[in-house]
Amino acid sequence: MHLNLFVYPGGHHEAAWRHGSSDPDRLLDVGHYQDLARSAEAAAFDGVFFADGPSLADNVRYASRFRLEPFTWLSAIAAVTERIGLIATASTTYTEPYNLARLFASLDHLSRGRAGWNIVTTGAPQAAGNFGLDSHPVHAERYARAQDFLEAVTKLWDSWEDEALVADQRSGLFADTDRIHTVDHDGPLLKVRGPLNIPRSPQGRPVYVQAGSSEDGRAFAARHAEAVFTAHQTLGSGQDFYADIKKRAARLGRDPRQLLVLPGISPFIASTEAAARRLHEEFNELTQPEYSLQLLHRLLGVRLSQEELDGPVPRELIETDGERGNGSRFRLVLDIVEREQPTVRELLHRLAGARGHRVIAGTPEQVADQLQQWYEEGAADGFNVMPPWLPGGFDLFAEHVVPILRQRGLFRGEYSGRTLREHYGLPRPASRYAAPRGAAAAVPVA
C-alpha cells in the first residue's frame, strides 16, 4: 500500500495545539517540519502532503488554522531529504497557469523529481476578496476553469522536449530551440502562449493529485488524476467510491491501476484499545464549542448554540439544495447525521478529529487491521496518514504500525525508486510536442 504523511499545523485534531504533548511554539519553526519529513522518509513513506488555501480560516481564533505557503515549505524539506515525495496544494481558481507551472517545475527540479500537485478549485468563499473579486465562483464554474487550467499547464510542462537542453560545451549549443515549443493554448477561459522558461522537469510533470468527491470532482479525477485524496467514514462508502472512480477511469480508456485512491486516516494509538479511547477523549475534552459550532455551520449551513449541544442534530434544518449541497464533505457529514443520529456534541467530536476523515482509536494491531481490510477489500490503494497531533502522533504510527504492515507484506521496507512517480508506480509521460523519430521538430521558438 501507499502511505503519505498529511501535515497540518499542530496536527489534525482541532484541539491538538492545546494538548500537553504538543509544542505550539514550533508551529512556525522550519526545523519542526524538516524533522517530520525526515521521519516520514526514514519510514519509507511515499510522500509528505501539505494542504493550502488562499485565505485565512474564519475559525483561527481557537485553532492552529493558519497556512504556510507550500512551495517555500516544501523547498525547505527538499533540501534535507532525498527520496520522499513532496505534494503541494495549489488552486486553479486563484492562480494563473504560467506562474503555477513555473513553481512546480522548479520544485521538481530542486527535488530531483519528487513533486506532486494537489489540484483544488478552492471551496472557501472568503478567498474571492483577496483577489479583487466581488464573489466566489460557483462550483460548476470553478471546475470548468480547472479543466481549462490543467490543459494549459500540461502543455507548458510539455513545451520543452527532453532533448531540448543540450549544454554542449564543445559546440557552444546550450538549448536546441527546435525542441522548445510555443503552446498557444486558447481555451474557453484561459489563453497562454508559452513556452515555459524552465526545461522539462525530471518527472516530465508533477504527479496529478485531486481532492474532492463531488460529481464534478469525480469526473475530473477520473479524467486527469493519478492519485485521489478522499474522505470516508465506512468501509462500504470507501468501496463504493473506489469502484466508481476506477470504472470511470476505465471508461475513459485509462488504466485504473494508474489512479490511486488514498483515503485519510487519523489514528489514536496506545497499548490497549481502552487507553487509545481515553487518549481520544482527552483531545475531545479540549475542544472549544464556539470553534466547533462554527465548523458545523461552515459544513452544513446550520447555526446552533451551546445550549443545544446535548440535543439531536436538527436534520430538518439542513438544506440539501444550493451550492453547499454540491460538496462532498457536506454529503459525508449529512450521512453521519442520518445514519447515526448523533447529538450535536457527538457530531462535533466526530468532526474534531480530522474534519470528516476516519478516526481510529486502538492498538497498533487494530489500526493495521483496519488499514489492511480497506486495502484488501477494495476501498483503498493506500492512505493519507493524518496524525491527531505532531510529532508524537506520527511517531507512534511510524514506530508501531508501519512494522506490522511490513511483517504482513503490505508496505515497503525501503525505497526502490527516487521519484514520486516511481514510488506510486506511475509512468513518466512523454512530451506531447516531442517530434516522432526521424521527423523534423515542429514550432521553433522566436
3-class SS at 104?
Answer: helix
3-class SS at 194?
Answer: coil
Tell the residue number behind the cell numbers 476553469, with chain if given: 145
Among 111-125, 191-205, 431-445, where is mean pLDDT lowest?
431-445
Q: What's the CA gap between 435 and 164, in Å, rounded? A: 11
Percentage of residues in the chain having pLDDT higher than 70: 96
Q: Please list, in sequence order, all residues whose beta carbon lies within 8 angstroms of the beta carbon of residue 138, skipping any fewer than 6 positions away.
A: 323
Q: Is 137 in contact with 68 (CB distance < 8 Å)?
A: no
Q: What's the CA gap between 139 and 121, in Å, rounded? A: 8
3-class SS at 283?
Answer: helix
Tell the residue number behind the cell numbers 489563453, with chain if given: 191
Q: Is 146 in contact with 122 (CB distance < 8 Å)?
A: no
Give 208's strand partners. Answer: 117
Closest residue by Cα to residue 40 from 72, 83, 10, 89: 83
Q: What's the CA gap between 304 and 295, in Å, rounded? A: 11
Q: Please list, in sequence order, all residues whose beta carbon lies within 8 angstroms of the beta carbon of residue 316, skipping any fewer than 6 positions away.
A: none
Condensed to tens digits (0 to 9), the pLDDT of residues 156-197 reads: 999 999 999 999 999 999 999 999 999 999 999 999 999 999
Please check if 52 is assigned to a binding site: yes
Q: What's the CA gap between 155 and 192, in Å, rounded? A: 9
Q: Which three cell numbers stand for residue 146?
A: 480547472
Q: Residue 50: in which H helix or E strand, if any?
A: strand 47-50
Q: What is the dihedral of CA 338, 343, 349, 352, to 10 degrees?
A: 60
Burial of 72 (0-12, 13-18, 19+ CB in 10 A): exposed
What is the rounded average pLDDT of the residues 196-205?
97
Q: What's the CA gap between 287 and 427, in Å, rounded? A: 44
pLDDT for position 436? 61
pLDDT for position 440? 39
| pLDDT of 86 strictly over 90 | yes
User: Angle, nearest 10°, between helix axes 215-224 and 235-251?
Assistant: 50
Q: Is 308 in contact with 302 (CB distance < 8 Å)?
A: no
pLDDT for position 326? 61
Q: What's the CA gap between 276 and 362, in Å, rounded? A: 5
Please check if 214 is assigned to a binding site: yes
Q: Which three cell numbers stand for residue 85?
A: 515525495
230 φ, ψ (degrees, to nearest 5): -145, 165
| pLDDT of 427 strictly over 90 | yes
Against a cut of 0.85, is the pTM above it?
yes
Give 118's strand partners. Answer: 89, 209
Q: Is 122 in contact with 94 (CB distance < 8 Å)?
A: yes
Q: Residue 192: in which H helix or E strand, if any?
A: strand 191-192
Q: 2-273+358-424: what fold?
A: TIM Barrel (3.20.20)
Among 86-100, 223-237, 327-341, where is mean pLDDT lowest?
327-341
| pLDDT of 441 strictly over 80 | no
Q: What is the dihedral of CA 299, 303, 307, 308, to 10 degrees?
A: -60
pLDDT for position 325? 61
Condensed to tens digits (0 to 9), the pLDDT of residues 1-35 reads: 999 999 998 899 999 999 999 999 999 999 999 99
| pLDDT of 216 strictly over 70 | yes
Q: What's the CA gap between 405 and 382, in Å, rounded? A: 12
Q: How many CA atoms within 13 Å lie on the side-chain side of 142?
A: 26
Q: Distances from the Cα of 276 to the Cαs of 3, 12, 30, 330, in angstroms?
A: 22, 16, 30, 28
Q: Which three cell numbers stand for residue 168?
A: 554542449
Closest residue by Cα to residue 146 from 90, 205, 226, 197: 90
For β-strands 173-175 and 185-186, DSSP reports them as: unpaired
Domains of the chain, by residue range, sit at: 2-273+358-424
| pLDDT of 81 strictly over 50 | yes
Please check if 148 is assigned to a binding site: no
Burial of 14 (0-12, 13-18, 19+ CB in 10 A): buried
